[in-house]
Amino acid sequence: MANPTPNLFARPALDQTIAIVQRYQAAAIAAVNPKLDQIDEFHKGPKMRTAYPWLTVSYEGTLLPETSQQSIEQHLVLIVGLETGDFDSETGQETAIDYLRMLDYVFRKLAAFSDWETALPIVNDSVPSAITTPWPTGTVKQVFIERHEQSILPAGEKRDSPALKVTLHLRFDLEES
């Protein structure tokens, strides 16, 4: 049995991640900091920044360990990056941390395990049907946050001042029969 192409197998993770954030962000914002702005910008690739907060979901890679002939195991990692706004030594970092807490809350507290294998509504140009195509039931074995990060993006690239970015690394343990 040949292994599927990893980047094709990652597509459900990209779409489901965006759909889950869209579905649960209002509840997470209410729980973490009601003063945060809703995320309206959701992307899977490079694009000129037009507003903050700006969320980009990208595929980091897939580990394909040796498996039996009956199944294919995969450990897939996505990067969920959120540019939160202009850098300010006090409020900018606090806001960025609150956005990170909000995203963590979405994935740890609000998203149900079944959300990863259920067709969900999504607003994204790359999904014209406005409904995700998830993995088959039973494919997802575990989803967890591997780590959090915060970085400062330098001024430039149509940005007059530095900006803050928070990042979650989501790992998916999958098995395809």
What domains can be seen in the chain, in order of their start residue?
6-176 (3.30.70.1700)
DSSP class of 159:
B
Tell me whether residue 10 is exposed, middle or buried, using C-beta atoms within 10 angstroms of its C-beta: 0 to 12, 13 to 18, 19 or more: buried
CA distance 57 to 170: 10
For residue 99, pLDDT over 80 is answered with yes
For residue 1, pLDDT over 60 is answered with no
Residue 68 is predicted with a pLDDT of 55
When pLDDT is cut at 50, 70 and 90, the band that residue 67 belongs to is: low
Residue 159 is predicted with a pLDDT of 66
Contact 99, 166 (CB under 8 A): yes
Show the 3-state SS of 15-83. HHHHHHHHHHHHHHHHHHCCCCCCCCEEECCCCCCCCCCEEEEEEEEEECCCCCCCCEEEEEEEEEEEE
pLDDT tens readout for residues 5-62: 433 478 899 999 999 999 999 999 999 999 999 999 999 988 888 889 999 999 998 8
For residue 154, pLDDT over 60 is answered with yes
Across 129-152, average pLDDT: 92
When pLDDT is cut at 50, 70 and 90, the band that residue 158 belongs to is: low
DSSP 91-148: HHHHHHHHHHHHHHHIIIIIS-GGGGGS--B---TT-TTSB---PPTT-EEEEEEEEE
Residue 70 is predicted with a pLDDT of 62
> Taking all residues of the chain, what is their mean pLDDT, rounded to a whole number?
87
Q: What angle do CA 88, 36, 38 make, to 5 degrees?
A: 120
Residue 47 is predicted with a pLDDT of 83
